Amino acid sequence: MPVSYIERILRARVYDVAVETPLSRAELLSRRLGNAVYLKREDLQPVFSFKLRGAYNKLFHLDEATRAGGVIAASAGNHAQGVALGASRLGIEATIVMPRTTPLIKAQAVRRLGAKAVLQGDSYDEAYAHARSLAEERGLTFIHPFDDPDVIAGQGTIAMEILRQHPQPPHAIFVPVGGGGLIAGVAAYVKYVYPQVRVIGVEPEEAPTLAQALAAGRPVTLGRVGLFADGVAVRRIGEETFRVARETVDEVVLVSSDELCAAIKDIFDDTRGIAEPAGALAVAGLKRYVQTRGISGQSLIAIESGANINFDRLRHVAERAELGERREALLAVEIPERPGSFHSFCRTLGRRQITEFNYRFADPRRAQVFVGVELGGGDQERADLIARLESKGLTVTDMTENETAKLHIRYMVGGHAPGLEDERLIRFEFPERPGALLDFLAGLGRRWNISLFHYRNHGAAYGRVLIGVQVPEQQRSELGQQLDALGYRYWEETDNPAYRLFANGRESPNEGR
């Protein structure tokens, strides 16, 4: 690793605005995982995110003429707040371009810190392109959120603090990855001081920018990225950040959205602080690493990178945390429609806590029950429970990993429509902004009848919709063309067992058993 990065990190100017955050032992996680787990609490920065470090270091090193001309940045929120606060302290006029899907709490914070917030586009990429255009048009200096040596060096001061705060070299440090600025700075410093310490990147399964780049040997542009962890929803890792990461990062761990929700809960249980999804990435990756490697008795450090989360997103997080921890099973169970069958079914479940129970009469012979059951032993206990129910002659469909069931069907149980013809079930994601739902419906057009519709606002950047559309067989190719033209991410769910059991109008898949 070039010595220049070590020198840049040692000389980085961050403490005019940033604070040295604590390295706190997570007692509950440590006992549960059998390792000494520590959290680097970057959520305690003045803007509730580590991004302040790199942004201020870059701004500080601008010459006077450049400062006088003003700066511009593109960000979904955390880098924006860092640039806004840093520019305010240094007397620099700042403009921040943010996607219209940016959580309101972040946009308001930018304005409160004195910067001009411009909302443009539905994604970071669109905001970035607009910011670059404005920079050229107005002669503004663009402050990159990650692919800049001064930004990387500012983030690297986190590693300097960790190694000073931890008495011995830890086994591993887990770092969230978006564009790569944080992991490049941390890995450059750690590997120079303690080459034996493992530096492990953590990414969402829906945004594996570094994992894909390492596999290809070069940065690649992902077609789409999931936006649940909006702070790391980047389609392409930086050129410079990848160059550094390729030489210094040991491996990358990918985690699901449900695992992120479970990690947010873990952090809350240990600290009473609430991390944003990207802020909990490292903890989720640490847990996955311990589970897959079976290590124990080691010191493991996770960088809790931010806490800028809309309050209304907590509803979704709470709903999914137990699933992410494998502490809840979602099951569809067919029981006889006769007196006493419910009681018998509940006795079979035993003393387990019921988290959800949905039923509505639809057939005189059998009943479909959607039930959530609290677990203590994870996947094996779920398998044992299903086997026990089936030994009683019950038909069980496991819905625990069924995204449509978790997002939609659990809120629609009882929605059968007997006699409905030619219904196709489609699940969508579209940018969540004022008027977005109306735009979505307008884009779908009026040619086919909408026979089912379910939408829930999760306080996230993307809205999730489940629709049923009546489309004759000979028109289905035209439906596909119409869906592609919308430009939204979608999945065909017509054969999803959750739909067939609880919401469709056709005969039950078990008819005639």
- The residues annotated with a catalytic role in the active site are 51, 305
Please choose, from the candidates 17, 19, 37, 41, the residue with its C-alpha nearest in 3D space to the C-alpha of residue 28: 37
Alpha-carbon gap, residue 150 to 147, rounded angstroms: 9
Number of C-beta neighbours around residue 31 at 10 A: 10
The Cα-based distances of 508 to 367, 481, 495 in angstroms read 11, 30, 12
What is the C-alpha separation between 505 and 101, in angstroms, rounded? Answer: 36
The backbone region for 442, taken as left when phi is positive above 0, alpha when psi lies in -120 to 50, beta otherwise, is alpha
Tokens of 384: 């044992």
Specify whether the CB–CB gap between 425 and 466 falls below 8 A. Answer: yes
206 vs 233: CA distance, rounded Å: 9
d(CA 395, CA 368): 9
Q: Are strands 449-456 and 462-470 parallel, antiparallel or unpaired?
A: antiparallel
205 DSSP assignment: T
d(C-alpha 230, C-alpha 15), whole Å: 27
Query: Phi/psi zone of residue 60: left (φ > 0), alpha (ψ -120 to 50 degrees), beta?
Result: alpha
SS3 assignment, position 512? coil
Contacts for 159-163 with beta carbons within 8 Å, 24 or more apart? 159/9, 159/185, 159/186, 159/187, 159/188, 159/189, 159/190, 160/9, 160/10, 160/189, 161/20, 161/21, 161/23, 161/40, 162/23, 162/40, 162/186, 162/190, 162/301, 163/189, 163/190, 163/193, 163/194
Contact 389, 432 (CB under 8 A): no
| Alpha carbons 212 and 228: distance in angstroms, whole number | 19
Confirm if 271 and 141 have CB atoms less than 8 A apart: no
Contact between 426 and 490 (Cβ < 8 Å)? yes
What are the angstrom distances between the C-alpha of 346 and each of 38, 367, 377, 390, 498?
41, 14, 19, 14, 21
**Token pair in block for residue 221:** 């542009």
> In whole angstroms, what is the distance from residue 388 CA to residue 371 CA?
15
How far, in Å, CA of 391 to CA of 180, rounded? 51
